[in-house]
Amino acid sequence: MPKKIIELFTDGGCRGNPGMGAWGACLRLAGQEKVLWGFVPETTNNRMELTAALRGLEALKRPSVVRVISDSRYLRDGMTQWLAGWQRRGWRTAAGDAVKNKDIWERLVTVAAPHEIQWEWVRGHSGHIENERVDALLNLVMDQCAAGGQAQEGEGWL
């Protein structure tokens, strides 16, 4: 019997960089979708991109086969090309600098470990339906949470 594949569509962004930011994620399995979102009053776009993937993977209840689809090359390349080198060099880049967002990268490594993950990049704002949806979600979150200025997270089923 073929394994069921969970699709995880993620996006993160901020207004100003750094500035207020949000992330959105949509998990899909067998026609069911669950959305997750969060708002942070002061952050960077890369932290939000990583957090979207982290929170999506944290929502999984058991080891799974997952396709993570993101418009962040930073996320995809970090997980598929750079991570082993960073860890080998003690969380240093090839240039010897400290890896930015190490706290989230370390959590991503831990939460990704039990899963079989394919990391995929899609061009942002290019009409990819699910990417446009999570982008719209995070922008709605920023619009609605900006006035309160407090970090928030939420989820729901579609």
Provide the annotated binding site for Mg(2+). 11, 49, 71, 135
- Examine the residue annotation and report whether 85 is marked as an active-site residue of this protein: no
Catalytic member of 13, 49, 56, 78: 49
Active site residue 120: no
> Which of 97, 125, 127, 156 does the annotation list as catalytic?
125
| Candidates 13, 21, 38, 71; catalytic one | 71
Active-site entry in 11, 24, 38, 78: 11
Tokens 């997980």, residue?
79
Is residue 128 part of the annotated active site? The answer reads: no
Question: Which positions make up the binding site?
Answer: 11, 49, 71, 135
The active-site residue out of 12, 13, 21, 38 is: 12
Q: Let me know if 97 is a catalytic residue.
A: no
Cβ neighbours of residue 51 closer than 8 Å, sequence gap 6 or more: 12, 23, 38, 40, 104
Q: Is 30 exposed, middle or buried (0-12, 13-18, 19+ CB in 10 A)?
A: exposed
DSSP secondary structure, 46-96, as one string? HHHHHHHHHHHHHT-SS--EEEEEES-HHHHHIIIIIHHHHHHTTSB-TTS
Judge whether 12 counts as a catalytic residue. Answer: yes
Is residue 125 annotated as part of the catalytic site, yes or no? yes
Q: Catalytic residue numbers?
A: 11-12, 49, 71, 125, 135
